[in-house]
């Protein structure tokens, strides 16, 4: 096995499919875990039955038949299940994974300790006594120990990284990860920080646990095999970021320029706690080489108070989408302004144009500032009077109820809200189709899907349409340059994003 090993998890329900998957896994993984509890046509009573599909293996294999209590997909009598695992590892596989709760029963079968993984799973939380759990687990003779918990917030991952550091200092082989979207960083960084391996599925939607990436993503997007503790860390922080296109774009550009950087999706709910425990050099609890962060909904405005300085655009807009970690502290920038305005300027001159901006959040502030800087006349339309009033006061623009857009005379309509976004409210629009009638340009900052209901309505009304993909690429290119001092290859980021959208 290579360092930073990727383990493909086989979750097929038939022996024939499992056999095919084991053969396919050789192209993307360093070893394989076969989840026997997924199989529906397998006779668990005879370990020799494993030979029918393990004979095609070309890599080390871990046999797992999880108990229902720890995530198993069907009930198999413990005596049958444990004998299958112990004998299977002794005769045909390289390892078997047995839960610590069943260790004593398995020990009566005299398992080979050099082929044994002893594991603990908590599917609901990351318990506060994880060190004590590790102490009990590591006291059980085995080649590898495994702890997998559920991350309810990004701060839960700190306990996992601390365990990895401890195991590394003690010379133990430990697999430790946090399940769920908040735990994705443990899956990408875990091996570089001391983990024995990381797990991946063979295809999207086939994962054995929440937050599990595909083997291809781990290899090709995050380049897990090349990550070390010196690798420079960047990422996107926001409420829901697991399906963001930003990791594909930035990591593709890092690879193209052969830079030792990685870009991660980081789900953050407690912004203050995250900056204190992960970002601030004087208080961070994770020893990572952090260089910068993209900031998205809902943190673009609130993050400004946590930074040491803002560039002129970010200060005027009152919102930040890019953080740079510098020797002197934390600097905030706003590349959304240029990113949002560039696609509009490619289709029309903005000076003197009547523009309607839907929304009053951080993205709206960037768009309003950018439009005004180009001489446009702006009206903000929003359902949130309080936010609208604050934005109007900041920029001296009119603010109207969203319902009044239909009777307005604006030529250009720009949606800055997440309404219509995949995973949020796909298939809906912030306004009725009739509100778009007669407009010259209709622009949606959303990029997944490429054609939202808002844009579909605009097409039906013969408006010129712009989706958010070009903005995404332009603002990302500016972020990349802030962090690396290098320009990404022309059009590479937009192409990477489009390929990812098309593949989904």
List residues with catalytic annotation.
121, 146, 300, 336
Using the CB atoms, write b or e for 152-174: b if 16+ within 10 Å.
ebbbbbbbbbbbbebbeeeebbb
C-alpha to C-alpha distance for 375 and 137, rounded to whole angstroms? 66
C-alpha to C-alpha distance for 390 and 373, rounded to whole angstroms? 19
C-alpha to C-alpha distance for 281 and 329, rounded to whole angstroms? 8
> In this structure, what is the dihedral angle of CA atoms 302, 303, 305, 309, given to the nearest 10 degrees?
-150
Alpha helices (runs of H) in 94-214, residue ranges in sequence order: 103-107, 130-138, 156-170, 184-189
CB atoms within 10 A of CB 230: 8
Within 13 Å of residue 102, how many CA atoms lie on the same side as its CB?
26
Question: Which DSSP string do the residues of 192-209 spell out, in sequence order?
Answer: GGTBSEEEEESSTT--SS
CA 374 to chain centre: 35
C-alpha to C-alpha distance for 396 and 392, rounded to whole angstroms? 5
């Amino acid at each position: 096995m290579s360092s930073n090993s990727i383990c493909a998890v086989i979750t097929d329900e038939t022996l024939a499919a499992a056999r095919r998957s084991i053969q396919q896994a050789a192209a993307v993984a360093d070893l394989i875990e076969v989840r026997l509890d997924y199989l529906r046509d397998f006779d668990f009573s005879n370990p020799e039955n494993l030979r029918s599909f393990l004979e095609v293996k070309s890599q080390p294999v871990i046999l797992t038949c999880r108990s229902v209590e720890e995530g198993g997909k069907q009930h198999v009598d413990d005596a049958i299940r444990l004998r299958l695992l112990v004998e299977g590892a002794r005769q045909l596989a390289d390892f078997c994974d047995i839960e610590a709760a069943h260790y004593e029963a398995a020990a009566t079968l005299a398992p080979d300790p050099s082929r044994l993984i002893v594991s603990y799973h908590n599917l609901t939380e990351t318990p506060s006594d994880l060190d004590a759990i590790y102490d009990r687990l590591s006291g059980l003779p085995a080649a590898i120990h495994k702890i997998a918990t559920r991350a309810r917030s990004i701060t839960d991952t700190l306990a996992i990284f601390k365990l990895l550091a401890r195991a590394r200092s003690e010379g133990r082989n430990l697999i430790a990860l946090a399940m769920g979207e908040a735990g994705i960083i443990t899956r990408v960084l875990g091996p570089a920080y001391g983990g024995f391996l990381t797990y991946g599925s063979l295809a999207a939607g086939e994962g054995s646990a929440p937050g599990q990436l595909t083997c291809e993503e781990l290899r090709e997007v995050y380049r897990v095999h090349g990550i070390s503790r010196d690798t420079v860390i960047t990422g996107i922080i926001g409420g829901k970021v697991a399906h963001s296109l930003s990791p594909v774009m930035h990591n593709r550009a890092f690879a193209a320029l052969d830079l030792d950087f990685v870009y991660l999706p980081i789900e953050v709910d407690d912004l203050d706690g995250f900056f204190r425990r992960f970002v601030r050099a004087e208080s961070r609890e994770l020893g990572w080489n952090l260089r910068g962060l993209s900031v998205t909904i809902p943190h673009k405005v609130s993050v400004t108070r946590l930074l040491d300085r803002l560039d002129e655009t970010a200060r005027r807009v009152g919102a930040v989408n890019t953080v740079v970690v510098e020797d002197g502290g934390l600097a905030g920038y706003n590349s959304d302004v240029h990113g949002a305005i560039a696609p509009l300027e490619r289709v029309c001159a903005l000076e003197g144009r009547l523009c309607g901006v839907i929304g009053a959040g951080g993205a709206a502030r960037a768009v309003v500032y950018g439009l005004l800087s180009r001489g446009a006349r702006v009206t903000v339309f929003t359902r949130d009077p309080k936010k609208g009033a604050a934005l109007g006061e900041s920029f001296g623009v009119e603010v109207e109820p969203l319902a009044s857009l239909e009777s307005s005379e604006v030529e250009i309509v720009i949606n800055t809200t997440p309404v219509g976004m995949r995973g949020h409210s796909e298939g809906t629009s912030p306004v009725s189709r009739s509100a778009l009638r007669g407009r010259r340009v209709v622009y949606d900052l959303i990029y997944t899907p490429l054609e939202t209901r808002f844009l579909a309505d605009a097409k039906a009304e013969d408006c010129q349409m712009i989706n958010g993909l070009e903005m995404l690429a332009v603002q990302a290119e500016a972020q990349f340059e802030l962090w690396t001092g290098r320009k990404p290859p022309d059009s590479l980021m937009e192409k990477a994003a489009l390929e990812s959208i098309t593949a989904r």
